Structure 1
């Protein structure tokens, strides 16, 4: 049996501690669909908050948008998605399971260092390991259809958006007018997208419903390549600033023949997940979409989506640089990178294995845990009052069940940066012990200084 991967270990922890639940589990679940529990939703919100702050509110040149999930059908026809948004589907004649042909070929090339000489004929069946027998590839549309109105016919046919970007492009003129921005400027958006994936899997990595954090940055033609490099560097720095080990990140340049229909150049930011068959997985794509989107929508809609530059008396259709990140893929990378095992002293004078999520404090689902040393008529009310006071500023847990060491471990494995112990000395010296997660160092802090102590250490959280 193959050793358990770090991804499997983290997935088990996430399910056990309520970060993630299988969707509709009581009915047998939906394949590769997930619900986010109390801790998972906090982690997601914290990642979104950091992205929004970094990409929108901290920048003078960017504004936000929240566009509809269901756009007019003409949007997807004009954008080229109806015609070209498809993947090559093959079926194994051995197991009758279906796969994306390009994924099979890419996994072979990553493993062997070269593409297969005979194409799919050289690819072994992923499930059985036998020499592969495959059907001819055929195009499989990634668009999810839905129908609006009382009749399920062509007239009511719409699509759930496969990307948030098109909602930004069709609102370009609205935002330009109302925000009084001018290129170079960006429009950021976070929202759900839907793709009819052939082979969803790898826990929350590839799903049919997912959240994107996207920004479309509009620039003058000729300045696009410089801005593309800027955004590649800027986005890499976001991941490392939030604690991702740079050794686990890499840039992957798309080959020209594999570029999307709208792209002049695309560079992916990938994380070393250690998946079976392919160690690296895409977190984010940074694409130079040229003037493709604004041009096709301008032509199809009859509305002018160009920009008039008064200073030079010229009119042009802006080029677009798009950093497009997957929220749940980022969440998975932050969890895998933060997962750590070490040793901690126990009550018997020995040591126990300790699981700790060394998440950046800004991302941690729970910022502070308040723990009375024991259930006691004097300690419990004091600890509860402190927890309630701190909830004005942070997500705080109160826990009085079990030995104090066990309670520390519970908080360590969900990444809580600080544990505050209210003990019997607190009744006399009006101070508490604050323990830091990573070092396990403890410090005695006066009760009236606790807020300030934490505020200094949870800046930006």
Structure 2
């Protein structure tokens, strides 16, 4: 599976889906640029999401809010104080990671609870292994018994005590020379890459990118505040600096949702709407992730497709179930292997304190199940917080309580007074566009071997849903002769006018190899213009998945492709 994922990443770079950002300057860790085909694939996924959630409905509108977000907005929402992950440092490798994603320690032999054994620490190479062994023996655990085997350092263990449910009380006791007992704390996990148990205690780490919207360099104010601050003051230097910088402090938004919430009243006023209705938004968000991994799966800059659906409190359970199923169906609609998608309901200990329900859609990536979307019943927490901090008018007032037909209702939540007043509850669908792209690439990536031919090397077919495919059609002259080009250009022009990305593939390669090149990037149809085309105006249309070829008048190609794309939409 890992080999297949590496092959996919190689394809993405080689054929123009993904590039390492600033590669000519050595690259920027966790940052990627989307090439010509990556842009198209991402846009097609976004368009499918927008069509289903906005254009196919009469109760959802769109919004595009600012990325730069003032401090008070994120203070009210809880992000300034609570939007944190726990952070752990490995004192040996200097790597940082989240403990909730880290594995437990592995032994040689791989026993779960050995009476004694050896912990292997895997270094990148033999030289690093020797350097790490020296650091362990001289700084981290003086006197410890170790041995080096190639690029692995083996720590000789005497006993291991597992931590309790609170992550406390765990320890590892090592065999040592010259000391009666050599023990370190063990919280139930190790550094994920190397299996190192030499870790700091966990500490909270705020995930937001902070910056300053100010014509004057804020560093100068930091310097002046630090110089003037009285060391005997009850206020710490950090608190004094934060206070002087607060008026100009802004953040790169960590999610698109807050921009929707603070515009709730303006949208209802301008669009003359009341719950149930939704506001959809697609845009960039930023999180200072501790661990960047798996290509575009976890990056500091990413795009979200979010829908905030506002409902009456007594109907929130119904709408949560509705959107939970509807969003899952969207993922299955475009999948080659639906069984590799699943829903996972959160336990009570996983949900935010204000949520009454949360379900993740997960995809089985080569490294395991990973979240691609979350659907949550957020209650009225967000709107209420902004009301408290701004006195905004987010209440809905109705002379008569409206109960929607065919909607399960919790009558205990219906207001008794007239007119009825309530703050809407929110059912949120939050989907990562970058993760969606990676999931559909993994789902579509096929390597096949032609058992009948002499070439036993596998070739790649990217079986993307035609609606998502970056290139809809490749038009190919049989040879490089100029006489084919007038019809080639006519076919390409007729398809481009439908809004389909179409390329002319006139490389000096055999037609079969050109077909295979487009199989590799997921092009669902190829059109060949040959000598018969010059006689009767017909062309050959070849299907990516079946290899079937049909002959049409060149004017009918757009009709055939249009019907195929339309049928896919009509089926869902």
TM (norm. structure 2) is 0.75
Could you tell me how far apart the structure 2 residues matched to 1:106 and 1:13 are? 34
Matches within 5 A, 1:127-138: 127-130=193-196, 132-138=197-203
Q: Which residue is equivalent to 2:129?
A: none
SS in 1 for 2:68: coil
| Cα-to-partner distance string for 1:302-356 (whole Å, 9 max, x where unaligned) | 112111122232000111000100001000001100111224599x887763311
Which one of the candidate residues 25, 50, 67 is aligned to 1:27? 25
Q: CA shift at 1:106, angstroms?
A: 9.6
More deviation, 83-92/252-261: 252-261
Q: CA shift at 1:139, angstroms?
A: 0.6
Q: Which residue is equivalent to 2:206?
A: 141
Could you tell me how far apart the structure 1 residues matched to 2:105 and 2:294 are? 14
Matches within 5 A, 1:309-388: 309-312=398-401, 313-343=419-449, 353-388=458-493
Could you tell me how far apart the structure 2 residues matched to 1:190 and 1:431 are? 42
* Unaligned runs of at least 5 residues, structure 2: 113-161, 168-185, 219-244, 402-418
Which one of the candidate residues 494, 505, 516 is aligned to 1:389? 494
| Cα-to-partner distance string for 1:119-158 (whole Å, 9 max, x where unaligned) | 453323322234x122111110001001102132332110
Could you tell me how far apart the structure 2 residues matched to 1:80 and 1:4 are? 39
| Cα-to-partner distance string for 1:49-83 (whole Å, 9 max, x where unaligned) | 00000111111111111111112221001000001
Could you tell me how far apart the structure 2 residues matched to 1:121 and 1:174 are? 49
Which one of the candidate residues 383, 386, 400 is aligned to 1:294? 383
Judge conservation of contact 1:294–1:305 (CA < 8 Å) in 2.
yes
| Cα-to-partner distance string for 1:355-413 (whole Å, 9 max, x where unaligned) | 11111111000000001111002113321332123211111011111111111111001
Could you tell me how far apart the structure 2 residues matched to 1:441 and 1:128 are? 50
| Cα-to-partner distance string for 1:207-244 (whole Å, 9 max, x where unaligned) | 00000000001111122122111111001100111125
SS in 2 for 1:71: strand
Q: Which residue is equivalent to 2:249?
A: 157
C-alpha change, 1:263 and 1:234, in structure 2 (3 Å) is: same
Judge conservation of contact 2:105–2:195 (CA < 8 Å) in 1.
no
Q: CA shift at 1:200, angstroms?
A: 1.2
Judge conservation of contact 1:367–1:395 (CA < 8 Å) in 2.
yes
Matches within 5 A, 1:69-148: 69-104=67-102, 117=163, 119=167, 121-130=187-196, 132-148=197-213
Q: Which residue is equivalent to 1:304?
A: 393
Could you tell me how far apart the structure 2 residues matched to 1:106 and 1:416 are? 44
Which one of the candidate residues 318, 321, 328 is aligned to 1:229? 321
SS in 1 for 2:314: coil
Could you tell me how far apart the structure 2 residues matched to 1:154 and 1:452 are? 60
Which one of the candidate residues 40, 43, 49 is aligned to 1:42? 40
C-alpha change, 1:263 and 1:106, in structure 2 (3 Å) is: farther
Aligned residues: 450
Judge conservation of contact 2:105–2:189 (CA < 8 Å) in 1.
no
Two-structure CA RMSD over aligned residues (Å):
2.2
- Is the counterpart of residue 437 in structure 1 residue 437 in structure 2? no
Judge conservation of contact 2:103–2:192 (CA < 8 Å) in 1.
no
| Cα-to-partner distance string for 1:13-66 (whole Å, 9 max, x where unaligned) | 111111010111111111111110000000111011000001111111111111
Could you tell me how far apart the structure 1 residues matched to 2:443 and 2:393 are? 46
Q: CA shift at 1:431, angstroms?
A: 0.5
Q: CA shift at 1:248, angstroms?
A: 0.6
C-alpha change, 1:147 and 1:261, in structure 2 (3 Å) is: farther
Judge conservation of contact 2:477–2:528 (CA < 8 Å) in 1.
yes
C-alpha change, 1:364 and 1:80, in structure 2 (3 Å) is: same
Larger Cα Rg: Structure 1 or Structure 2?
A: 2
Could you tell me how far apart the structure 1 residues matched to 2:512 and 2:456 are? 11
Q: Which residue is equivalent to 1:212?
A: 304
Judge conservation of contact 1:18–1:40 (CA < 8 Å) in 2.
yes
Judge conservation of contact 1:249–1:271 (CA < 8 Å) in 2.
yes
Which one of the candidate residues 327, 338, 350 is aligned to 1:246? 338
SS in 1 for 2:400: coil
Judge conservation of contact 2:104–2:189 (CA < 8 Å) in 1.
no
SS in 2 for 1:331: helix
Could you tell me how far apart the structure 1 residues matched to 2:440 and 2:506 are? 29
Could you tell me how far apart the structure 1 residues matched to 2:494 and 2:338 are? 38
Judge conservation of contact 2:373–2:429 (CA < 8 Å) in 1.
yes
Judge conservation of contact 1:121–1:133 (CA < 8 Å) in 2.
no
Q: Which residue is equivalent to 2:238?
A: none
- Is the counterpart of residue 184 in structure 1 residue 289 in structure 2? no
* Unaligned runs of at least 5 residues, structure 1: none
SS in 2 for 1:286: strand
Could you tell me how far apart the structure 1 residues matched to 2:190 and 2:105 are? 11
SS in 1 for 2:427: strand
Could you tell me how far apart the structure 2 residues matched to 1:5 and 1:125 are? 23
Could you tell me how far apart the structure 1 residues matched to 2:489 and 2:555 are? 15
Judge conservation of contact 2:97–2:291 (CA < 8 Å) in 1.
yes
